[in-house]
Amino acid sequence: MTIAKIMQRLTAFGMLAGISLLASGCESMVVLDPKGPIGAQQRDLIYFTMLLCLIVLVPVLLLTAWIVWRFRDKKDNKAPYQPKWAHSTKLELVWWGIPIIIILVLAVTTARYTHALDPAKPIQSSAKPVTIQVTSLDWKWLFQYPDQGIATVNYLVIPEDTPIRFELTSDGPMNSFWIPQLGGMIYTMSGMSTTLYLQADEQGEYMGSGANFTGRDFAKMGFTAKAVAQGDFEKWVKEAKTSGKQLTEEGYLKLALPGTSEQMTYASIPDGLFKRIVHEYSMSRGALAGIGQKAKTLSEQHAKEDGETGSAPAELPPKTAPSSGGHSGHNMKEMNH
Amino acid sequence: MLDKIKEFASWFFVTGDPLIYGADIAIALTTAAIIFVLTYFKKWKWLWREWLTTVDHKRVGIMYIIASLLMLFRGGVDALLMRTQLAFPDMQFLSPEHYNQVFTTHGVIMILFMAMPLMFGLFNIAVPLQIGARDVAFPFLNSLSFWLFFMGAMLFNMSFVIGGSADAGWLSYPPLSEMTGSPGVGQDFYIWGIQISGIGSLMTGINFIVTIVKMRAPGMTWSKIPMFTWSVLSSCITIIIAFPVLTVTLALLFLDRYLGAHFFTMDGGGNAMMYVNLIWMWGHPEVYIVVLPAFGIYSEIVSTFSKKRLFGYGSMVFAMMSISLMSYFTWLHHFFTMGSGANVNTFFAITTMIIAIPTGVKIFNWLFTMYRGRLTFSTPMLWSIAFIPCFVVGGMTGVMLSVAPADFQFHNSYFLIAHFHQVLIGGVAFGYFAGLYYWWPKMFGFKLNETLGKWAFWIWNIGFYVCFMPQYFVGLDGMTRRVSTYSWDTGWWGLNFTSTIGGFLMGIGFLFQVWQIAHSIKFMEKDTTGDPWNGRTLEWSIPSPAPLYNFATTPQVTERDDWWEEKERIAAGKAPKPQPVLEPIHMPKNSAIPFIQSVCWFAVGFGLVFHWLWIAIPGLLGVGITMLAHSFNYDTDYYIPVDEIIRTEEAARRSV
C-alpha cells in the first residue's frame, strides 16, 4: 500500500470522526442551551465573540491554504518569486490595524458585559429573591435555605422565574459552583463568601457540578438543580420541614468530614451556621503539619484506609458516623477554636 | 531483620497496583540493561568523560533533548492512561487516586520536564552557533543547569514507584496541597523536584541573556540577530522574572508543610488565594516562555524553506518583546471566577486579549514570508505550516476564554482543556518537533528519514484534531476537567470515545517518530555539506556535526541572513569573505562538579521529602563543598592548538 493511499484512508477516518463529532455536538450542548437570563446572555456573548473571531479566522485559513498551494516549489510554477521582498509598511499597517480594531470592539463589549453580568449583581425582577447558602464540602454540597430554615445535600430545588441569590463558601479545598444551563460558575473558597445570582426561566432538572478539583471523590460532586413552579416550591419546603431530620452543629461537623454522600434533606438548620462556616470552621481542620508530622507514603495511606474502613472506598450514608475516607480524619471539635 | 526490611519495603515502595508493579519490573530491567551494555562495551569512562562531565553546549543540548524525549514518552503514557479511563462511562481502569496522580504528573512532566528541557536543548544547540560564538557565556553553569534539571526530574519521577506521586493538580492549589488535603509524600516530591530543576531553569535564563548580549560575532548588530535568537532572548527575559516567583511560592508551601507555617491556610491568617495569585504570576508567563522560542523556530524554518527573507523583521521582534512584557499582566484570567469584581476582571480580560494582536501579526508575517517564495515541504516545514491553522484556532478560543463573563461558562471545563492543548501542542510541541528535525543534522551529522517523518506528521496531526476538537464540545456540554469518571446519562460518551481514539493516534505518531530516529541511525543519510536545508544563518556555514570549538575562526557578520548572502555572493562570482588566520582557541575544561553537586541536591530533596535529615544534611554539605571546590579551582580552561584545528577542519571538510 502506498503512503498516499494510507493517508487517504486516515483522512477519510478523520472526516468520519469529525462528522460523528458534529452530529453528537448538535445534540444541544448545555452551555448553548440556557434556561435562564444569565445563561442566555452568556450564550449570546459567546456567539458574539465567536463571530468576531471568525472574521479573522476564516480569511486567514483560506489565505494560508492559497499561499501554500500557490507558491509551492514546482518547476512550472509561474507565481512571482521575490526572495528579497521582506517589508511593506502598508501591509503591516493592515494587519496591525485589523486586530487592534477587533480587540477594541471586543474590549468594549467585554467591559460592558463584565459589569452587566457581575455575578454579585442582583437580577431585576418583581419576585423577591430566594437566598441559598452553598457550602462545598469534601466531597458533597450542602445547600441551606436560611429563610425557609431547611437544608439539602447534593440537590437543589428552586422556584422558577425567581432570582436566586447564592452565597457560596467552602469548608474544604476550594471548589467551583456550576449549573451550566442557568449561568456561569463562581469559586467557593474557605474563609470567604462570594455571591452569585442565577435564575431559571423554565421548569426542569439541571445538571450542576463542582468544577474545581478537590481531591479523591471530586468526580462525585455532581448535584441536580430542580426548577419548579412557585406553588410546588412552597409545597416542597413544607414537606422538607416535616421530614424529621435535623441538621445540628455536631451533625454538620460530621457531614463536613471527607466522604461522599447521597441526596439528603434536613428539616431544620442551626441559626447562623453559614456565618460560622465562613468565619470559624472553614478549614480549621487545616495545617496541623509541622516538623513533627511527616507525610505518609502511599502504601502507608492505603494500609491505614484498609485498617479502618475495609477495602471498599468509604461512603457516607445518611445520618451515620462519618468515614475517615483516607484523608486525615481529625476530630473537628478538637480544632474548633 | 528480614521482616524489618520487608516492612520497610512495603512502606517505602508503592504497593497494591498491578500497573505500578509493571513499572517496577520495567525500571529494574531497563537499569540492568543499561548497566550491562555500559559494562560489556566498556563505556563507563566514555560516558563520564564525554557526557556526564562535559561543558560543551552542543552535548548539553543533546542530553537535554534525550531527557525531554524520555519525559515526552512518560507524559504521553500518562495521557493515554487518562484517555483510556475516560473512554467509557463508569470505567474501572484507574482508581480516582491513581487518576489524580496521573493527571498531576502528566501536567508537571509535560510543561516542566518535557517542554522546558526540549526548549533548553534547542537553545543550547542553536543559539551559540547562530550568533557565531564558541560556547555559551557560562559553560560550567550551563552544565550545572542541565544536571539540576535532570536530578529534579528524576526526583519527581521516582515518586510514582517510591512513596507515591503528587495528586493535587499540576499547580497544587492549597488547601488541597497542604498537609491536611494531601497527607502523602507526593506533594513533597513535587515541591523539591520542581524547586531543584527550577533553579537550573533560572540559571539557563541568565546564561542565555548574557550569551546573546555579550557573545555575538563582530558585526552582528541588534538588527542582524537571527529571529530564533531574538525569541530566546525574549523568553529568557521572561524566565528570569517569572521563575523567582515560582521558587518563592514553592518555598512557602514547603514551609507550610514542613514547619507548620500558615502562609496558605485559613488557620493563622494565611490565604489560599495568595498561592493561586503567586503560582499564576509564574504560570502564565511560563506558557509564553515555552511558546516564544517556538515562534523563533517557525521564523527560521519558514524563511529557509520559502527561500526568502523573513517578512517584517522589526514587527516580529517588537511583537515578541511586547508579548514577553504583557505576559506579566494576565495571570488573573486563570481565576476570573474568584468573584474579584467587575473592574478587576475587565482589566485582566483586556490585557489578555491584547496579546492576540502581536501574536496575530506574527502569523501574517509568516504567511507573507511564504508569499512570493518557493516552498518546499520537508518535515520541518510541514510542522511549521500545520502550526498555523492549529494555532489560529487555538488563539481564537483563547480570545473567547479571555472574555471574562463568557469565561464563567468555560472555566475549568473541557473547553479550556481543548484550548490550551491546542496552543501548547499546536504551538509549542509542533514548533519543537520542527526545530528538532531542522537542527538534527547539525547535532548528529545525518538527516532524519523524511518518509517516516511524514508518516509521523500526518498521524500526529489527524490524531490531534480527533483528540481535541471533541473536547471543545464536551466542555460546552458541561464536562469539567479532572473528573476521573462520568455516568452514561451525561451523554458525554461519544465525544470522549472519539477523543480517546485521537489520543492513541498521537501515540502511534510518536512511535513513528521513534521508528524514524532508529531507522535513520541505521541507514544514515549523512549530511556532508553542513548545510542540508540550504540555510540562511551562521550555523549552516560550519560542518555537521559542529566541531567542538564551533567556528575555526570568528565569523565577521555583515548582513542579516549572513550565510545566505555569502552564498549569493559566491554564486554571483564574487570572492568569499577573507578568512582570518587561525589562532589557538580558548576553551573551557570539563568539570565533574555540576554532576556531583546535582546529585547532592537530589539527596537534599530526597531527604527532605522523607524528613530524613541524615540524608538531607550531608547532601547540603556536599552542595557547599562542591561550590567551594569550584571557587578555588583555577584550572578551568585550555587552548586548542592551531594544528589540531587544521586537522579537525580537514577531517570535517574532506567528507564534503
pLDDT digits (tens, 9 = 90+) for B448-507: 999 999 999 999 999 999 999 999 999 999 999 999 999 999 999 999 999 999 999 999
Quick one: average pLDDT of B378-392?
Answer: 97
Whether chain A has a CB inside 8 Å of the CB on B599: the answer is no
- CA of B567: how far to CAs of B129, B311, B559, B577, in Å? 18, 20, 12, 10
Per-residue model confidence as pLDDT tens digits over A175-216: 999 999 999 999 999 889 999 999 999 999 999 999 999 999
Average pLDDT on B374-392 reads 96
For B265-271, which contacts have Cβ atoms below 8 Å and span 24 or more sequence positions? B265/A283, B265/A286, B265/A287, B265/B174, B265/B175, B265/B178, B266/A190, B266/A191, B266/A282, B266/A283, B266/A284, B266/A286, B266/B175, B267/A283, B267/A284, B267/A286, B267/A287, B268/A287, B270/A287, B271/A191
The cell numbers describing B57, all together, are 553546549
H/E stretch holding B447 reads strand B446-447
DSSP β-bridge partners for residue A143: A134, A152
> Is A44's pLDDT higher than 70?
yes
* pLDDT score, position A317: 36
Rg (CA), chain A: 27
Closest CA in chain A for residue B470: A21
Predicted pLDDT of residue A248? 94
pLDDT value for A203: 96
Higher per-residue pLDDT: A286 or A260? A260
Would you say residue A324 has pLDDT above 70?
Answer: no
Contact B57, B135 (CB under 8 A): yes
pTM > 0.90: yes or no: yes
A45, A54, A120: residue with CB nearest B339: A120
Of A176, A219, A300, nearest to B485 by CB-CB distance is A219
C-beta atoms of B476 and A86 within 8 A: no
pLDDT at A289 over 90: no
Instruction: Give the pLDDT confidence score for residue A57 in this predicted structure.
Output: 93
Neighbours of B239 (CB within 10 A): 28
Q: Assess whether pLDDT exceeds 60 at residue A284.
A: yes
pLDDT of residue A288: 56
Residue A1 has pLDDT above 70, yes or no: no
Residues B537-571 have pLDDT tens digits of: 999 999 999 999 999 999 999 999 999 999 999 99
Cβ within 8 Å, pair B353-A107: yes
Q: How far is A248 from chain B (nearest CA, A)?
A: 24
Tell whether the model's pLDDT for residue A124 goes beyond 90.
yes
Residue B588 has pLDDT above 80, yes or no: yes
Q: Which residues contact B318 (CB under 8 A, 6 or more apart)?
A: B358
Tell me which chain B residues have a C-beta less than 8 angstroms from the C-beta of A195.
Answer: 339
CB atoms within 10 A of CB B133: 23
Q: Count residue pairs from A and B with Cβ separation < 8 A.
A: 389
- Residues of chain B in contact with residue A73, where contact means CB-CB under 8 angstroms, are 307, 374-376
Q: Which of residues 1-30 of B touch A (CB under 8 A)?
A: 10-16
CB atoms within 10 A of CB A248: 14
| pLDDT band at residue B265 under the 50/70/90 scheme | confident
- Per-residue pLDDT band at A292 (split at 50, 70, 90): low
**B295 has pLDDT over 50:** yes
Instruction: Report pLDDT for A50.
Output: 94
**What does each C-alpha distance from A56 to B369, B468, B564 come to in angstroms?**
19, 21, 34
Helix/strand/coil for B91: coil
pLDDT of residue A49: 95
Tell me the mean pLDDT in the region B389-398. 96
Query: Does A141 score more than 50 pLDDT?
Result: yes
The alpha-carbon gap from B34 to the nearest alpha carbon of chain A, in Å, equals 29
pLDDT of res. A337: 37
Evaluate if residue A310 carries a pLDDT over 50: no
Q: Is B124 left (phi over 0), alpha (psi -120 to 50) or beta?
A: alpha
SS3 assignment, position B596: helix
A298 touches chain B (CB under 8 A): yes
More confident residue, B216 or A3: B216
Of A82, A86, A283, Cβ closest to residue B265: A283
Cα(B46)–Cα(B59) distance, rounded to whole angstroms?
13
B204-217 average pLDDT score: 97
Q: How far apart are CA A313 and CA A302, in angstroms?
A: 11
Does position A336 have pLDDT exceeding 60, yes or no? no
Q: What is the pLDDT of residues A90-121, one digit of tens each?
A: 999 999 999 999 999 999 999 999 999 999 99
Q: How far is CA B184 from the centre of its chain?
A: 28
Q: What pLDDT is stored for residue A5 in this prediction? A: 58
Nearest to B403 among A61, A106, A180 (CB): A106
